[in-house]
């Protein structure tokens, strides 16, 4: 599997260096509310159900949108660890990530305009199993946190428009 990933990274890097336009891509999610707070999502050939817990009026048929943000960050960290471990030839046997987010619902519920509606703190716990030295693992971590796409989007503003 690592050989497949290494080859894919090598080929993609060559294509992107050859013509930066090759590196541009657009991703899409389409969704709609079906009942109450329940939403059905289509992403390419994949589908996903998002919902709210029953205590706030949902039917709990799936994770909430803010939980999806935590899952996106955790899995993006993992995939970025795998990619950079492969590219840097640093041994990495296993990676698991737990992400926690703290929210104050007075923001969403419009009770206090000074309270933000999203998470006011996110904590990421990365568990690596690796025979690499501590220095190599530190170098890997530094590269991952500089290049993890979802970490970038949560820590630096993304221009969002409603065309």
Residues numbered 12-41 forming contacts with a second copy, rule: CB under 8 A: 12-13, 16-17, 20, 23-33, 35-37, 39, 41
* Min dist. Cβ of residue 134 to a second copy (A): 16
- CA-based torsion, 14, 15, 16, 19: positive or negative: positive
* Least distance (Å) between residue 54 CB and a second copy: 9
Residue carrying structure tokens 């041994």: 91
Chain positions 120 to 149 lying near a second copy, rule: CB under 8 A, are: 120-126, 143, 145-149
How is residue 21 annotated by DSSP? G
Task: For the segment 96-115, give every residue that binds a second copy (CB under 8 A).
Answer: 96-111
Q: Is 152 in the site for a second copy (CB under 8 A)?
A: yes
Which is it for strands 46-50 and 38-43: parallel, antiparallel or unpaired? antiparallel
Q: Identify the three-state secondary structure at position 112.
A: coil
Shortest separation between residue 101's beta carbon and a second copy, angstroms:
5
Half-sphere exposure of 15 (CA within 13 A, CB side): 10
3-class secondary-structure state, position 125: strand
- Contacting a second copy within 44-63 (CB under 8 A): 44, 46, 48, 50, 52, 55-57, 62-63
- In whole angstroms, the minimum distance from the beta carbon of 52 to a second copy comes to 6
- Report DSSP state, residue 93: -
């Amino acid at each position: 599997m690592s050989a497949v990933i290494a080859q894919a990274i090598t080929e993609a890097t060559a294509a992107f260096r050859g013509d930066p336009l090759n590196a541009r891509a657009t991703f899409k999610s389409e969704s709609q509310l079906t009942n109450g707070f329940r939403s059905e999502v289509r992403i390419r050939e994949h589908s996903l159900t998002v919902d709210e817990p029953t205590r706030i009026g949902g039917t709990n048929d799936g994770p909430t949108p803010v939980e999806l943000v935590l899952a996106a960050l955790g899995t993006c960290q993992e995939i970025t660890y795998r990619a950079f471990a492969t590219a840097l030839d640093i041994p990495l046997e296993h990676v698991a990530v737990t992400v926690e987010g703290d929210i104050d619902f007075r923001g969403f519920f419009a009770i206090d305009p000074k309270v933000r509606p999203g998470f006011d703190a996110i904590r990421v716990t990365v568990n690596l199993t690796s025979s690499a030295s501590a220095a190599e693992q530190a170098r890997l971590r530094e590269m991952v946190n500089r290049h993890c796409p979802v970490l970038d989007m949560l820590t630096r503003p993304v221009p969002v428009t409603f065309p």
